[in-house]
Amino acid sequence: MNSSAPVPSLRAPFMAATLLCLFLVSSLSLHAQRLPQTARPESYTLTLTPDLKAATFAGVESIDVTLAEPTASITLNAIEIAFRGVTVTAAGKQQKAAVSLDAQKEQATLTFPEKLPAGKATLSIAYTGILNNELRGFYLSKTARRNYAVTQFESTDARRAFPSFDEPAFKATYDVTLVVDSADSAISNGPIVSDTPGPAAGKHTLHFATTPKMSTYLVAFLVGDFQCTAGEQDGVAIRVCSTPDKVALTPYGVEIARYVLHYYNNYFGIPYPLKKLDLIALPDFEAGAMENFGAITYRETALLLDPKTASVHSKREVALVIAHEMAHQWFGDLVTMQWWDNLWLNEGFATWMENKPVAAMHPEWNMDQTVAADVETTLNVDAQPTTRAIRAKAETPAEIEQMFDGIAYGKAGAVLLSVENYLGEETFRKGVHNYLAAHLYSNATAEDFWGAQTAASGKPVDKIMGSLVAQPGAPILTFGEPAGGKVTVAQKRFFLSPSIQADPAQKWTLPVCFKTGADSQECQVLTPGDLTLNAPAAQPFFADAGGKGYYRSAYAPSNYAALVSSVENGLTPTERISLIGDEWAQFRANKATTGDYLNLVAAVKDDPNAQVVGAALTGINSIFSQVAATLEEKAGLAAWIRSTFGPVYARLGAASDNDSANARELRAQVFGVLGYYGKDPAVLDQARLIAEQYLADPASVDANLGQTALAIAARNGDAVLFDKLQKVFETSANPEIQEGALHLLPQFTDPALLQRSMDYAASGKVRNQDTASLFGIALQIGDNRELAWKYIQSHWDQVRAQVSPQMMTRVVASTGNFCSQAGREDVKSFFASHKVAAADKSLQHAMERIDGCIELRTLQEPNLKLWLAAQPK
């Protein structure tokens, strides 16, 4: 599916003792939310009857359990459930249960008159529940035409739909029956095995095949008038489903899913175990997608697509999300982490794996470059003042929800990539197969995985992964001048902020791979005690072959100069992305100047790869918004952008139907920087014309260029364009075009139009899942930030009512775009009196980002002035 404060120094033993007592009480409370191990479920039989008009449902459930010891009570999870009757049958005797609820722990305890013997028992439960509007549990998803009843259970919300042992290690089988309106269909994890009329008039009963053993959070049931496009691969029935008005956008997903399923069957050497695989687009869905076993759910934008009008970016992203969730059918569904502290065993693996089938299916998309750029993003996340280890403690639902972050996904995936690069793809694949085969339909830990890799490779994967998984942060490796076949190396934790001093005791064991030729490398394991490594003879000296290492690199001045001078002919595209990322990190840490970074950008401006140029332009975006503080500085930077990238755009020429995917993206990127930051008059005029053409007929313009032109036009747009975009959002049946139009509304810099976009976001006319994005986008734009923040503050109750609880954390996170002490204090003061659930880490990171921006501007703005003054006029 889709970091912590330092401990203050304590001045007195009394304070230390008090804090310890509070910690112990807190810890006991947290652990008390875990269920006892007395009862283990073996199978569930569920019959649910949803009433979509009344927004309620009735449930009848039986759970076969095994009792480890005699007991007079059984505790399971339940919240927002009304129990109507509970009995237990054990040793041939039936007893009624008394039910006591603990809403804070989200638990129900069933107490019996007589103690149950150890062994088999069956719980029978009748209950009712609500179809909520919170996008979790069993909830309502709505269109203008009708309601749907759908589910989202990860991480701890199955308990809202049926009383359950709602922890990942309590795996069981599920026998699901849905009683629905005669005109409706239903989807669950297994295929339909029977469809019978009744039991009441106007109803029919759908019974689904029993599932394999799986965790509660992977159960799914969806009710409505879904329509599907069907396909088949390797004996598995594949469907992509949607609301009826969007079924024409489902074939692309079928094409991707068929390819990915066959690829994964071959790669894992373990066939997909179910008879069918459904991928379902839901109108209201908070996450990007959810890997329910055999019934994967998606946001409409993450699954539905028209290839004739879609951008390369959208095609790639839909393919990646499909591949990510399908990877979970093995990593997460077949083999599940023992507890949420090892969430990375699900999300990190899927993040690493998703790129492989997409790269094989579409080599023209240069997925290795996308992966390299993602690694750079993750390294920056991991260099914030506070971050967390890949494996981290999480006990409460709120703590578990905060685990779904850039560490569980990005860092874990990058670490796996690094280890795979060190071992070799085939050796690593064998380790993956052995790990999965040893834990099918069961649970696993981090040690299980790296133990399998160590055994398969005979290399110290356990020490490497133990080091990378257990420690927060990432190292920077500082290399000396190679001499005599050796090179000195020093490692320490890297922080983007130069004011933070790393703990000298923190060291890593990790593979370092040196470039030895055009496409060759030599990897060595760096341990905490190593001060030198063997240096290759190849020139230039480059210490991150393929851009796959999980570390930052710093070079001696002469070596860095050699790398820059040969960046276009001595390094591969992924290595160029790595070098750009390392130089950006040095710039942020005040080890390099603004001019040093922009000179590197100039060195790669003619690079033929869109991802390389895109990596460089990311830094320009940050310099423009975070370092340039005056109109004069922004104008100087804009002039440099025009003089540097204007000739590049001219050489790329006009768009053509014969353009490669890379050429389309590259042209759009250069056009975008010239219009958005360069304010090039010719580009601004062209953007208005292309935007009008794209709005009139999306198929008439290359989507990459058309969407970029529309963004430039919106930034400088009037009420006429605003009205057109609002109409597109309200009338289009294409999710990509619809969402694109919506996200442009808060980018208009006219204050009156920005006010309209904020009113619209808070009006209830935008889905809860999308409202937070509008406020977040407005807060990202310097010209709009102050007005948007004042609006949020003055309309707080209205904003909260329109944003789902989980998405509110994104609104909090977006306040991190401020870059002044006054802004920081305002944000801090506001959220001190306007608490947002489960947003403590988001607020902490927002404060850190503001501090980082203030520090960056203070240190680098003078360098920018000097560099601009030295540029040709």
Q: Tell me which residues are annotated as active site.
A: 325
Q: At residue 683, what are phi and psi to the nearest 5 degrees?
A: -70, -40
Q: Phi and psi dihedrals of 557, rounded to 5?
A: -50, -40
- φ/ψ of 391, rounded to 5, equals -100, 120
Kindly give the residue spans of alpha helices, DSSP state H, lying in 441-486: 446-457, 461-470
Give the C-alpha separation, 869 to 422, whole Å.
46
CB atoms within 10 A of CB 26: 11
**Tokens representing 294?**
């055999």
CB-count exposure of residue 338 (10 Å: 0-12, 13-18, 19+): middle
Q: Where are the beta strands (DSSP E) in 403-539?
A: 442-444, 475-479, 486-493, 510-517, 520-526, 532-534
Tell which residue, 628, 647, 777, has the closest CA to residue 714.
777
What CA–CA distance (Å, rounded) separates 224 from 50? 11
Q: Are 311 and 704 in contact (CB under 8 A)?
A: yes
> How far is 622 from 587, CA to CA, in rounded Å?
11
Rounded Cα distance between 537 and 781, Å, is: 47
Parallel/antiparallel/unpaired status of strands 289-290 and 295-299: antiparallel
Q: Which residues contact 652 (CB under 8 A, 6 or more apart)?
A: 663, 666, 667, 670
Strand ranges of the sheet holding 137-142, from the earlier edge strand across to the other edge: 137-142, 147-152, 221-224, 185-188
Rg (CA), the chain: 28
Burial class (CB in 10 A: 0-12, 13-18, 19+), 145: exposed
In a 13 Å sphere around the CA of 350, the CA atoms on its Cβ side amount to: 29
Do 640 and 605 form a contact (C-beta atoms < 8 A)? no
Rounded Cα gap, residues 822 and 835, in angstroms = 20
Produce one character per residue of 806-830: b if its CB has 16 or more CB atoms within 10 Å, e if not: bbbbbbbbbbbbbbeeebbebbeee
Cβ–Cβ < 8 Å for 514, 549: no
Please calculate the CA angle 634-637-640 and round it to the nearest 5 degrees. 150
Question: What DSSP character marks residue 172?
Answer: B
DSSP 808-833: HHHHHHHGGG--SHHHHHHHHHHHHH
Distance CA 617, CA 605 (A): 9
Q: Quick one: CA dihedral 95, 96, 98, 104, positive or negative?
A: positive
